[in-house]
Every structure is written in C-alpha cells, then in structure tokens.
Amino acid sequence: MHPAASVILFTTSTGFGYGLLCWLSITLNLSETGQLPTPYILTLITIALLLITFGLLASLWHLGHPERAWRALSQWRTSWLSREGVFAVLVYPPALLMGFASYLQWTEFLPLLSIMVAILSLITIYCTAMIYASLKTIPAWHNLWTISGYLLYSFSTGGVLCYFLAMLLYPESFPSGSPQLYLLIGFILLALSNKIIYWKYIQRTSNSTTKETAIGIKGNISPLDPPHSSANYLMKEMGFQIARKQAHILTPIAVLATYIIPCICLLIASFSSLQVMIILLSTIALVSCVIGIIAERYLFFAEAKHVVTLYY
Amino acid sequence: MTSIPKKTEKKLGLVIDLDTCVGCHACVVNCKEWNTSGHMAPLTDLNPQQEDPDGVWFNRVHSYEIEQEINNEKHSQTVHFPKSCLHCDNPPCVTVCPTGASYKREEDGIVLVNMDTCIGCKLCSWACPYGAREFDQTEGVMKKCTLCIDRIYNPNLPESSRVPACVSTCPAGARSFGDFSDENSEVSKLVKERGGYELMPEQDCQPVNRYLPPRPKQHQQEQDTMVQLPEAESNTEKLLTRWAQQLSQNY
Ligand code: SF4
Ligand code: SF4
C-alpha cells in the first residue's frame, strides 16, 4: 500500500498524543500523593491535545473533500473510520474538563477524569487499528497483531514522551525504580515483541486469495496484455512495492530506534542521579522514538500487499 | 446509510463470458464514453496526450496467458478478462464508508457513490478486493461503475438500448445483463448452463456478477475424429485433364 505522508503523520502524532494522555493518567494515579502539580497537568494535556489535533488535521489533509469531514461522524454503526472519528471527538471534553478541574483545584475529580480520558483514548486507538485490521483485502493488516501493535506502540511512544516531559518539568512523577518506570520499559519490550511476532506472522501466512481464485481458472496464470498502458489509480495506491534494499535499511532502524534505544536510555537513566544526564538520556530516547516510529509506520504501509495486485 | 439492505428486490448484474470475449476493449471504450457524461460524470483524464496517461475508467480488460496441464500435456490459452464492479451482495466497500456516501440500493442491488457527500477518504477502494473503484483526483471523490442506471431505466432510449453500455457494444456478445434473483432470467439460465462462477469467493463479498469459464480446448478431440482427406494431386497431366473435365461440365 502507498505510504501516504499524511497517514503516517496522523498515526505517529495521534499515537504520541493518546499515549501521553494514558500516561498522564497512570502517573497521576500511581504518584505517592495521588496528585500532580497543576502546571504540569495543564502542560501535558495541552501538548497531548495539540498532537492529537495536529494528527487529525493531517488526516483531513489527505481527503478529497476535507470540508465535508463532519459527515464522517455519521456511520458509526458500520464503519470503523467513523467510530474513530466519533471517539476522537469524545476525548476532547473530558480532557478539557480535566484541565479545568486541575486549574480550579478540584483535585478529587482528577483521578477519575484521567481514567475516563485514558479509556476513551484507548478506544480511539482501537478504532484506528480496526480500520486496518478489518480489511480482508490486506492480509498483512487483517490480523490480531495489527490491533495489539497499534495499542502497544501508542502506549510506548506516548510513555517515552511522558517520561521526557516529566524529567524536564516534574521528575518526581517518574522516580527511578518506580513502578511506572518499569511499566513503561515493560510496555516498550512488549511492543517490540509484538512487532517481531507481526513480522514473522506476515512472512509465514499464506493468503487464501490467489491468482486462481481472482480469475477463477486453474493453471499457471501470467499477464499477457495489461489493461492500461501506464499505472492507474489502483497500481499507484494499492500496487506500491517497497524496494528490498529499502526494507533492509528501514527494518533495523525501526527496531533499534523505536524500541531498543529508548529502552536502554530509560534503563540507564533510572540508575543515574545526575539531572543533566537524565534529561539528555530522555531526550535521546524521545528523538530516537520519533524517528523509529516514522520508519515503522512507513513499513506498515509499504510492506502491506493488497489482493488486487494479483490481477497485475 | 452504509448498512447493507438485508435483501434487495432485484439483483441486477452482468454475466461475462470468458469463452467469447476477444479482448477488443470495445466495452471499456463505450463505458468511458457513456459514463463520462453520465451519472458519475466526468471520468476525468490526466495527461491524456502525454507519455503517462491516467484517468478514471469503470471497466478494464486484462489479458492473461494460462498454462494448464491436461493428460500430462501442457496447454496454454489466452484469456481476456473484463473487470468492473460486481455489485456485491455483501459489499465491504459500503460498510467501511464513514459518510454513507457509498450505498447499496434496496430496489435493484446496484452499488453507488453519492458524489455530493463522499469525502474522498479512499477507504472503500482499499476494502474492495476487485479494484472496482477508482478515485477521481480532480474532483476529490470516489467513482465506480453504476451499471448504467442512466441507461437501464431511461425512458428516452429505445427498449433494446436499456442495457449497460458495455453490454450493448460488445461485438462478441460476451456480456449479458439481467436480474439474478429471477431464476428464469437469461443471466440465471446462462450461469446454470455454463457453470458461471464468483470471483474470489473466499473474500465473502458475494458478488452478483458471474463469469463463464472458457470452454475446454477442442483440437485434441478434433484430431481423434478427423476424416482423412485424399492426397492432393500433384501430377500436372492429371490436373489438366480434371480442369478440362470441369470446364466441359460447366458449359
Ligand atoms: S466489486 Fe468492489 S466496489 Fe463493487 S460492490 Fe463489490 S466490493 Fe464494492
Ligand atoms: S472515498 Fe467516499 S465513498 Fe469511499 S469510503 Fe470514503 S467517503 Fe465513502
């Protein structure tokens, strides 16, 4: 599938945003006092909502008619894309309310509100994943690993961002040796294993749709005359093929930069007591994570093959 | 609404005969010609005169070489394969649509796109396994075969022309149009007689259009039952005599 920049930006940016909201909830509920300072909460909510809004705008940019986007909220009964839109909108009110409550010092509402925000964020990510996982036409997406992958990468990238912001603004929310820190490392490792299993899975599974079922005649089928003299919409959108060389470069980048480097940085940081060092490490972790996840998202599209290519 | 109707009154669609299709692309051209000013008009072209032409077409003809092994002998045959929307009974392109722009009509089962509400998200084209939908870049909306709804119900056309453009133009008579819900319709009969089949049944789209398989090759049989013809005369004298005989018989 053609890896459109708008869609990669969308998943990367909203992934960080929703993940950050989840981690705000985790750190708030796990912190010793059960509270976080108001400016810290407000900053995190603002950054998360900006990332989400930016991602949603990027996804509108790839539409043929962005001005009609509101119509996409109407078919939630059948369409995962529509459901995603609905939940993406539903995240805003409780997130804004949470900021408001924090500002007004209604601290007793914060844990509950933050859990609500986190659950709605997770549902939104789930809906995004289902857009892809529900497509039977693309076997590389039509599996459970796609769904767990979306949830886990959003959780781990958002966590790395949250860790970075915490180290910068309020290190007490992520102290060394704290459960939240190990939770984050655990999630990154889970996301990595999921990705590896995903890759193994898409290499191994054979597709029940073949040239023979596509054309309906048994035999050795080879194209003789193409239906059009140059690439059409189908070939450009669905027939995108990643060069083997490119895949060989991007795969290790995706693995190292998204998961392994951040994981190592976090581990070292958790044993370090030097504030400068910790900030440096968390910055490296975040930058690496951003680069890695873009490569990983690119591969997710570029490596996925649509059954319509069997006709060509 | 993107829910699929539980049952449609009619099931209009096409039967495409791979045995008779000669791969002339007449249906492709006539489809384009009619539809570029029809219900989904225009079928935009990009760089039509340049090296890399691109554009929206509802119907495309692929040609394949198919090698089969029959009785340990390799046979190869050319199959021309026209492909357009199959107006599926269980169309994934409709259920994924977030706006309701894609819909299946309850009265005749035709799958259409409402160009006034389509946001051009392209998801429907990802969901269709057959590549039946093509995005119109200039208009920003998805386009597809309408089964010529503006012909088949058009009172301004003579009765005999109220069939899809591709059907009316096919010089080989390889395309038939009709109602598959009626067991006695021409198309239903053809499917029954000739073993009409679905494309990609495992994708579970339940396409309405059916394909008729090419008939098995004839020449093997022919060789067995061939009548031996007398050898041609090569003797000049005999030939001349016979010619003279024929001349005298005729005059
Ligand atoms: S052929 Fe494709 S576009 Fe046509 S109804 Fe079936 S799934 Fe939809
Ligand atoms: S491109 Fe248009 S018709 Fe297709 S799914 Fe999107 S809104 Fe629906």
Instruction: Determine, yes or no, domain membership for B7.
Output: no
**Shared-domain flag, residues B43 and B145:** yes
Q: Among B27-31, B65-69, B143-147, B234-238, name the one with the lowest average pLDDT.
A: B234-238
Instruction: Find the largest Cα–Cα distance for chain B.
Output: 86
Clarify whether residues B75 and B180 are in a common domain. Answer: yes
Split at pLDDT 50, 70, 90, the class of A242 is confident
The pTM (predicted TM-score) of the whole model is: 0.91
pLDDT for residue B220 is more than 60: no
pLDDT tens digits, one per residue of B152-198: 999 999 999 999 999 999 999 999 999 999 999 999 999 999 999 99
The number of residues in chain B equals: 251
Give the chain A residue nearest B70 (alpha carbons): A219
Hey, which residues 153-192 in chain B have their CB within 8 Å of chain A? none
CB A64 within 8 A of CB B135: yes
Identify the CA nearest to A15 among candidates A116, A220, A176, A152. Answer: A152
Closest ligand 2 atom to residue B133 Cα is 4
Cα A236 to chain center, whole Å?
A: 25
The verdict on residue B193 lying in a domain is: yes
Residue B56: which CATH number?
A: 3.30.70.20
Print the domain residue range for B250.
222-251
Residue given tokens 């709605």 in the structure block: A120
User: Strand, coil or helix: what is B55?
Assistant: strand
Pairing of strands B133-136, B141-144: antiparallel
Which domains are present in chain A?
Answer: 5-63+73-214+235-311 (1.20.1630.10)
Count up the domains in chain B and report the number: 2
At residue B89, the pLDDT reads 97
Give the closest-approach CA distance of A130 to chain B in angstroms: 11
Q: Is the pLDDT of residue B127 over 80?
A: yes
Tell me which of A286 and A244 has the higher pLDDT.
Answer: A286
Q: What is the pLDDT of residue B222?
A: 57
Q: In chain A, which among 55-74 make CB contacts under 8 A with chain B?
A: 62-66, 68-69, 71-74
Among B45, B97, B115, B119, pick the best mutation site for testing chain A contact (most A Cβ within 10 A): B119
ipTM of the complex: 0.94
Same domain, B36 and B80: yes
Assess whether pLDDT exceeds 80 at residue A46: yes
CB contact under 8 A, A238 and B18: no
Q: Is A232 on the interface with B (CB under 8 A)?
A: yes
pLDDT at residue B2, rounded to an integer: 66
| B164 min Cα distance to partner chain A (Å) | 20
pLDDT (0 to 100) of residue A142 = 97
Identify whether B169 is part of a domain.
Answer: yes
pLDDT higher than 70, residue A126:
yes
Nearest CA in chain B to A2: B126
Q: Is the pLDDT of residue B34 over 70?
A: yes
Minimal CA–CA distance to B118: which of B143, B95, B137? B143
In a domain, B202, yes or no: yes
What spacing in Å lies between the alpha carbon of A261 and ligand 1's midpoint? 45
DSSP labels for B173-208? --EEEEETTSTTSHHHHHHHHHT-B-SSGGG----S
pLDDT tier for residue B70 given thresholds of 50, 70 and 90: confident
| Residue from B85, B145, B211 to probe ligand 1 pocket by mutation (most atoms less than 8 Å from CB) | B85
Q: If we measure between CA atoms, which residue out of A123, A109, A89 comes closest to residue A41?
A: A109
Question: Are B127 and B240 within one domain?
Answer: no
Distance of CA A184 to the CA centre of its chain: 15
B168: in domain: yes
Residue A220 CB neighbour total at 10 angstroms = 14
Per-residue pLDDT, B1:
55
Q: Which of left, alpha, beta for A36 (phi over 0: left; psi -120 to 50: alpha)? A: beta
Indicate whether B234 pLDDT > 80.
no
Return the pLDDT at B125: 98
- pLDDT at site A282: 96
Residues B41 and B151 occupy one common structural domain: yes
A172: which residues sit within 8 A by CB, 6+ positions away? Answer: A31
Tell me how far apart the alpha carbons of residues A296 and A251 are, in angstroms, rounded to a whole number: 7
Q: Does A38 touch chain B (CB under 8 A)?
A: no
Domain annotation covers residue B6:
no
- Report the share of chain B in percent with pLDDT over 70: 95
Ligand showing the shortest atom-to-Cα distance for residue A74: 2
Strand bridging mode B102-104 / B73-83: unpaired
Distance between CA atoms of A124 and A19, rounded to whole angstroms? 11
Query: With 80 as the cut, is the pLDDT of residue B230 above it?
Result: no
Say yes or no: B116 and B18 in one domain: yes
pLDDT at A177: 81
Residues B180 and B251 reside in one and the same domain: no
Evaluate: CB of B142 within 6 angstroms of ligand 2: yes
What is the rounded CA–CA span in Å between residue B124 and residue B129? Answer: 10
Q: Has residue B13 got a pLDDT over 60? A: yes
Q: Are residues B226 and B208 in the same domain?
A: no
| B239, B190: one domain | no
Q: Across chain A, what does the average pLDDT equal? A: 95
B85 shares its domain with B190:
yes
Q: A73-101 burial string, b = 16+ CB within 10 Å, else e?
A: bbbbebbbbbbbbbbbeebeebbeebbeb
Of the two residues B216 and A94, the one the predictor is more confident about is A94
Residues B48 and B149 in one domain: yes
Does residue B116 share a domain with residue B92?
A: yes
Using CB atoms, which residue from A79, A222, A306 is nearest to B65? A222
* B226 pLDDT higher than 60: yes
The pLDDT of residue A271 is above 80: yes
Residues of B in contact with A136 (CB under 8 A): 92, 129, 203-204
Low-confidence winner among A146-160, A181-195, B109-123, B223-237 (lowest mean pLDDT): B223-237
Asked, for residue B5, whether it belongs to a domain, the answer is: no
Q: Do residues B174 and B17 make contact, with C-beta atoms less than 8 angstroms apart?
A: yes
